Every structure is written in C-alpha cells, then in structure tokens.
C-alpha cells in the first residue's frame, strides 16, 4: 500500500513526532508507514484521514493503483 | 502542532505506567517462585500445608503477572503490538521445536540430565531477539 503521508506532513511543516503525537502512535510507526514498511490498521488510517481532513482514498492507495 | 521526540506523550505515559506495573508483578511472581523453590527446604522443613500455600500464592501472582502482561501489550501502539505478537508467534514455534529436540536427547543418550526449566532460557532469548530484529526491520531510517 502506498501513501502520501510524507507529502501531507511536509506541506504542514509537521515533524514525524508532531504527527505521531496527533495520532497517538510512536514516531517510529509514522516513519514505518511513510516508508511503506508497515500498513496501518483501518482505524489508524481513518484517524489520519480525519486529521488531514481528506478522504482516506486520497491518502492511501493500493500499490498497483498508485 | 508540537510533539515530543518519541511521539505521543499520552502513549509514552501509558507504556511507562504499564511497564512499571509489569515489572512489579513480575518481581512478585519471581519472589513467590523463589519461595516455592527454596522455602520447603530452608524455611518450613517440607511442611505440606506451607508448601501448598506457597504454590497457591505462586499461581495467583502468576495470573496477576499475565494480566499485567496483557495490559502492557494493549497499552502499546499498533506497530509495537504487532511486533510483539509476531515475536510471540516465532517464540512459540522455536520453543516447541527446541522442547521436542531437547526432550529426545536424554532418551537418546546424548544428555544425562535434562531440565524443563532450561527451555525458559531459549524462550526468553528467542523473544528478545525476535522483538529486536522485527522492530529494526520496520523502523530502520
């Protein structure tokens, strides 16, 4: 699964730690998601979508669709 | 928006609190285990009633430790939780294989004396190594 987390975070000048704090996860988890080493759970993906006020499919996409 | 070095303060506080609880509960279990192991010989001269009480206390503190372990797992974020659960699965497999092999060594004449508690060492080391390797694989920068 691919995602635009790094781009969206950079647009807002947030650090990984800032985003981690807002999502109540560790900074390492944010880093792993950004690098595609870990796919977040559905609840966490929805939390990300709510935080960026965007539809979930605009942030996360299947690797073959991206 | 401001965060701290490791991410969420709430998460860190939660994990720290559950870690302290787990440490205390594990210490309690280790203590009662030592009492069961050494008490009959050193303190109450194999009085069966005292031994039974010590065993019941050991089982109760063991159950409390398990609850603390579960709560500690639930206090983690999802990547930490998944890492620990995968490490537990690996540990279960390794322990099963090593137990069977180790158990066959005495009847096969390779070892004179096998002790089931030796397996705990393999279990502990496997779990620690699995957690470290899995965590490093996913979180390396």
Ordered by start, the domain boundaries in chain B are 6-76, 77-141
CA distance B14 to chain A (A): 11
Q: Looking at residue B3, what is its pLDDT?
A: 46
Measure CB to CB from residue B138 to each of A16, A27, A37 and give the nearest one. Answer: A37
Token output for A29? 């988890």
Q: Are A36 and A60 in contact (CB under 8 A)?
A: no
pLDDT tens per residue, range A36-62: 999 999 999 999 999 999 999 999 998
> What domains sit in chain A, N to C, each tagged with a CATH number?
2-52 (1.10.260.40)
The pTM of the whole model exceeds 0.90: no
Measure CB to CB from residue A38 to each of B11, B138, B141 and give the nearest one. Answer: B138
- Identify the bridge partners of residue A61 per DSSP, sorted by sequence position: A2
Give the H/E segment covering residue B25: helix B9-42
| Pick among A5, A21, A30, A36 to test the B interface (most B CBs inside 10 A) | A21
Contacts of A53 in chain B (CB under 8 A): none
- Can you tell me the ipTM of this complex? 0.89
């Amino acid at each position: 699964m691919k995602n635009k987390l790094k781009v969206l975070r950079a647009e807002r000048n947030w650090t990984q730690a800032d985003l981690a704090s807002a999502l109540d996860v560790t900074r390492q988890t944010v880093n792993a998601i950004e690098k595609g080493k870990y796919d977040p759970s559905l609840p966490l993906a929805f939390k990300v979508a709510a935080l960026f006020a965007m539809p979930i499919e605009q942030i996360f996409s299947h690797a073959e669709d991206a | 928006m401001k965060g701290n070095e490791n991410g969420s303060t709430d998460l860190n506080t939660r994990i720290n609190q559950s870690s302290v609880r787990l440490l205390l509960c594990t210490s309690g279990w280790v203590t009662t285990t030592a009492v069961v192991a050494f008490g009959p010989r050193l303190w109450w001269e194999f009085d069966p009633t005292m031994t039974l009480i010590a065993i019941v206390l050991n089982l109760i503190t063991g159950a409390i430790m398990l609850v603390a372990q579960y709560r500690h797992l639930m206090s983690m974020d999802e990547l930490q939780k998944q890492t620990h659960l995968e490490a537990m699965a690996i540990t279960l497999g390794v322990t099963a294989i090593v137990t069977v092999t180790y158990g066959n060594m005495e009847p096969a004449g390779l070892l004179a004396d096998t002790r089931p508690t030796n397996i705990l060492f393999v279990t502990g080391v496997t779990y620690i190594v699995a957690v470290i390797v899995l965590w490093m694989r996913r979180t390396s920068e």
